[in-house]
Structure 1
Amino acid sequence: MSTETVDSSGDPVVQVTPGAAEEALALMEREGMDQDVGGLRLFVQQGGCAGLSYGMRFDNEPEEDDFIVERHGLRIFVDPASQNYIGGSTLDYEDGLQAEGFHVENPNVVSECGCGESFRT
């Protein structure tokens, strides 16, 4: 288990905006999760028109080889394979007229599908 907040190149594994942390922590509380041990898992999976898509779920504890990042009281778990695609990204939460939900701002993306649900690096 790596509690580093940067990867081997010195780049941040992932940043989290205060709004995203606040929303995730509120959801964890509603689920009755222990915020001191559990956290939000951010991962990349095969899928979508562009080939890759983001996934998020709450985990009760990190896996042995996870990067663990704590920002604004929220613990984020990122597995090494996903970190290769999302290293340096920022997790944000949008709450507006056009969109509501979590959004990953990823500097590694070279193209996204038209609906914005999948990407290619």
Structure 2
Amino acid sequence: MSAEAANGEEAPVRVTEVAASEALSLLEGEGLDTDVAGLRLFVQQGGCAGLSYGMRFDDEPEPDDAVTEHHGLRIFVDPASQKYIGGSTLDYEAGLQAAGFHVENPNVVSECGCGESFRT
């Protein structure tokens, strides 16, 4: 089942229930209104492979953002980032050595050894 953007198109990213739950908990811990605020997922220049993912909480979306809701979490993606992460899934992984958000991106043709940057 895929989420839809506000304009009826398929959502640029999917979010697992675990990732949404973790992000909502963090949003609430920051005192943000989860009905308006959300998690911004973006792509920026950097890293040894050329591009890297970025995430931050925003109080509200920008006018040209794709805005979707997944398991109660609002996701904001700007138009420039959409072309790099379209079809991706945001997940949360917890392990013995580390825990954090991870983007599974079908557009990636190569990643650096640490998995922090990529090339499409």
Question: Do they superpose with TM above 0.5?
Answer: yes
Number of matched pairs: 116
Aligned with residue 3 of structure 1, among 6, 9, 14: 6
Provide the C-alpha distance between the structure 1 equivalents of 2:93 and 2:26, rounded to a whole number of angstroms: 15
* TM-score, scaled to structure 1: 0.92
Correspondence list, 1:55-66, <5 A = 55-66=54-65
SS of structure 2 residue aligned to 1:50: coil
Q: Which residue of 2 aligns with 1:36?
A: 35
Letter aligned with residue 40 of structure 2: R
Identity of aligned residues (%): 77
* 2:114 is the counterpart of 1:111: no
Q: Give the TM-score of the pair, scaled to structure 2.
A: 0.92
Gaps of 5+ in 1: none
> Where has structure 1 moved over 3 Å in runs of 4 or more?
none
Structure 2 segments unaligned to the other structure (5+ residues): none
Structure 1 residue 99: Cα displacement: 3.3
Residues 48-95 of structure 1 deviation map (CA, whole Å, 9 limit, x = unaligned): 000000000000000000000100000000000000000000000001
Aligned-residue CA RMSD in angstroms?
1.2
Match of 1:18 in 2: 17
